[in-house]
Amino acid sequence: MTNLKKRKSTVNVGVDVGKWMLDVHIYEKDIHWQDKNTPEGVSRILKRLAHYRVKRLVMEATGRYQLALAAAAYQKSLPVCIVKPMSIRRYAGVVEQLAKTDKIDARVIAEYAAIIQPEPTPKVSRNLRTIKDLLTRRRQVMEMRTQELNRLQIMGKAFETSCRRILRCLDAEICSIEKKLNQLVERQAEWAERKSILLSAPGVGDTLAYTLLADLPELGSLNNKQVAALVGVAPINRDSGMSRGKRRIKGGRAGVRTTLYMATLSATQCNPVIRAFYRQLVDQGKHKKVALTACMRKFVTMLNAMVRDQVAWAY
């Protein structure tokens, strides 16, 4: 007699990630269990999942609490899908799942994995993860610096020394972060050509270039409408019957959009194409913020075309 190996079942797995605990649900088997969100707990979860052929391991992007499980799952070559919490809540609303507990959330995530079938999330190297974290930290420190500058204007002479002392500390921290960013970006050899193309455009500085390279890797592989929608600068229709609603931008990648906004402000002064386009819109009576949003859309589509065609800025 020949011994036939028992074929593993194909399953979709949902994980509700918490700070301390991980709730796991296997959709096809209707099995639920809970373990600690520690290296030992993650190891036990993956050991148990090894008895199945995991089609998708879906979890929400909950700050940083999902990173340990995701990193360990990538090492086991499991198809990890990290999805937006809003996508899960909207799905729960569609299936009229109003109750919310950790066990129920894990089951809903597993059902979402089986029904919606999200695409696996590409694995990110440790170097790239650190770059993303440094970009986020730079935005945070810049926000604190802006707040302190505002306080300097309104608090008066009595607090000027204190405000300026804090500003010096924040400026030093920003310089330190940018120095680390430059070092890490140099290690990403595959970025060298795209980085030089992006930096050739007036209005693009290191921060925007690094943000596009790290948080918008699809740049150069999409058409104009797709890249505008991905960043969140595409106008969304709100029409019904005879009514024509006001177009607004919505969704997209907030971090990229925030950095692009600041770069576009600069581009309206130093980039001849963006400057002329902005002035044309304002002269036509467009509100300045509407004109700036249109410039953001034009700017990112220009950069997308430059990367796609592998050509530097020319005017």
Tokens matching residue 49? 């999942």
- The pLDDT tens digits of the residues spanning 6-60 come to 567 899 999 999 999 999 999 999 999 999 999 999 999 999 999 999 999 999 9
What pLDDT score was predicted for residue 235?
Answer: 77
Q: Taking the C-alpha atoms of 193, 195, 198 and 199 in order, what is their torsion angle to the nearest 10 degrees?
A: -120
Neighbours of 156 (CB within 10 A): 9
Beta strand 53-60 with 80-83: parallel, antiparallel or unpaired? Answer: parallel
- Are 10 and 28 contacting, i.e. CB atoms less than 8 angstroms apart? yes
What pLDDT score was predicted for residue 3?
Answer: 45
What pLDDT score was predicted for residue 254?
Answer: 87
What pLDDT score was predicted for residue 6?
Answer: 56
> For the whole model, what pTM was predicted?
0.76
What pLDDT score was predicted for residue 1?
Answer: 39
What pLDDT score was predicted for residue 239?
Answer: 65
- For the chain, list residues with pLDDT below 50: 1-5
What pLDDT score was predicted for residue 32?
Answer: 96
Burial 250-281 (b: 16+ CB within 10 A, else e): eebeebbbebbeebbeebbeebebbbebbeeb
